[in-house]
Amino acid sequence: MRYTEQSLPVGVIASAWSSLDVDLLVVPVFEGEVPALPADLDAVLGPLVRAVIERREFTPKAFTTLVLPAAGPGWRPERVMLAGFGTRAACDARRVRRAASAAALAARERRVRRLAMAASGALPLADEARAAAEGLTLASHYSGIYKSGDEARPVPIEALVVVPPATASADVREAEREAGRGYILASCSNLARALTNEPANVMTPRLFADIAGQVGADAGLRVDVLDEDRIAGLGMGLLLGVSRGSAEPPRVVVLRYDPPDAPARPLLGLVGKGVTFDTGGISIKPSDRMHLMKTDMAGGAAVLSAMKAVAALKPNAPVIGVVPLVENMPGGRATRPGDVLRSASGKTVEVLDTDAEGRLILGDALWYARELGATHLLDAATLTGAIGIALGRDMTGLFGTPAQWTDLVARTAARAGDRVWQMPLVDEYREQLRSEIADISNIGGRPAGSITAALFLQEFSGGRPWAHLDIASTAWADEAQPWQPKGPTGVAVRTMAELACTPDAWPPPVA
């Protein structure tokens, strides 16, 4: 794997704009407003800025940008970028995060090395510093690492969030802390994006496990990697059944965060689907877009990256991450439609479709998280195409029980910047999973496909507070946006890490 992250820590500075030693200064502009520029900048650029806005050469709709040269007595920044933030009334943390990312991506195209972004004043200072730091850091991800030539790799951008020079020192320190938190969350999201983007001939279960060991050790996590013999010894028949058709052996990665003096309970268990490539097995997929099945381990990448973030944020509660890793291939030993597999929990499953493999490996992984003591569960998986039909490309499906737990996950996701929508668990739909030969079948037909998949996972939650994020439509951006290039998104990383930091809000563990 040729992963090297380009992000640099994002700083906060209380300074006059004219004194900033940067290549580019980003100035937020709201619709219907002419930016109130400091006197030194107004003298340099004021007439031109007002002219381009009045002539509508630049309209400050969200995520638009315009770069102008800046030169004048005592003025240090080389260029100024006007960055559209849309309307002030609609500006929230998501808007700041995306606008910052859009500005940094536009700056990267201009080979900018040092960038400063002025605070817009639309949010409390600490909140804006954090959102801006996240956006600036997310923009540093680069997907084309296998391209050759000097033009392929962008230069790393050193970024600053600029607050007014008269800001109280205590407020600056708080903004610095929040910007640091935003940098941690965004850089870990970039790690998940890098892992998800790797081709399947590189990112095998064994390599993922090796990377997890290195990332975990560097972060101070305890890491345990189960090989195929230990997996068999635990009776994980669902996971082994999926892996049988591949020459690549399965792995299960367990990462532990155990802060000193923290109570043993509650214990959050994060579980992520790690299918490093999914052909569909015997129920093989159409060739169109099958190349994107390298992303079927995005949930596992999210868990590894979230655990790295947890170790850096240091909540006072233990957390474990469990990532089951397999390839789903149509080899001569592959599981066939109609086969019956026995899970580690003892539940038997009739496999009606070998392309519904993610729920199988997650069933054994959820059981194992419980065996390791998890009292609360959250899984992330590129599980169903049906969720994209229901919610589109920008909304993750959220399932779970009890309502107190799923409501908390939804609020946490909103705060973290992951858009989720709560979906129902309709008890009557369990009938669609009924098998004539085993305890349960692994698919329930086309109707309500994402719901029946979640109901299948619930069978392995052991009655604990459990939530499931179906990220099948949100783990990969099919089209480039100003704030997001085409490619992996790093969805769910920030939600998982933020959830780990709020143990006081979790519902009581099941006795």
- Residues with a catalytic annotation lie at 285, 359
Q: Which residues share a beta bridge with 141?
A: none
DSSP string, 215-230: HHHHHT-EEEEE-HHH
Tell me the CA distances in angstroms from 22 to 18, 37, 79, one per residue in order. 10, 18, 9
Other CB atoms within 10 Å distance of the CB of residue 156: 15
Could you give the count of Cα atoms lying within 13 Å of 222 in the half-sphere of its Cβ?
7
| 320 in Cβ contact with 410 (< 8 Å) | no
Tell me the CA distances in angstroms from 129 to 10, 136, 173, 308, 502, one per residue in order. 9, 10, 11, 22, 21
Tell me the CA distances in angstroms from 438 to 65, 153, 346, one per residue in order. 59, 53, 11
What does the alpha-carbon distance between residue 461 and residue 379 come to, in Å, rounded to a whole number? Answer: 10
Alpha-carbon torsion angle 262, 263, 266, 267, nearest 10: 60
- Provide the pairing of β-strand 340-342 with 274-278: unpaired
Q: At residue 324, what is the residue type? A: P
What does the alpha-carbon distance between residue 278 and residue 297 come to, in Å, rounded to a whole number? Answer: 9
| 306 in Cβ contact with 253 (< 8 Å) | no
Give the DSSP letter of residue 481: B
Residue with tokens 């219907």: 32
- Provide the pairing of β-strand 319-328 with 251-257: antiparallel
Tell me the CA distances in angstroms from 403 to 244, 399, 422, 485, one per residue in order. 37, 10, 10, 35
| 238 in Cβ contact with 32 (< 8 Å) | no
Cα Rg, the chain, nearest whole Å: 24
Contacts of 313 (CB under 8 A, 6+ apart): 181, 184, 497, 500, 501
| 485 in Cβ contact with 143 (< 8 Å) | yes
Alpha-carbon torsion angle 191, 200, 495, 382, nearest 10: 170
What does the alpha-carbon distance between residue 456 and residue 437 come to, in Å, rounded to a whole number? Answer: 16
| 380 in Cβ contact with 400 (< 8 Å) | no
Q: Which of 417, 397, 203 is nearest to 297 (CA)?
A: 203
Take residue 418 and report the two structure tokens written for it. 């992951």
Contacts of 86 (CB under 8 A, 6+ apart): 30, 31, 60, 61, 62, 95
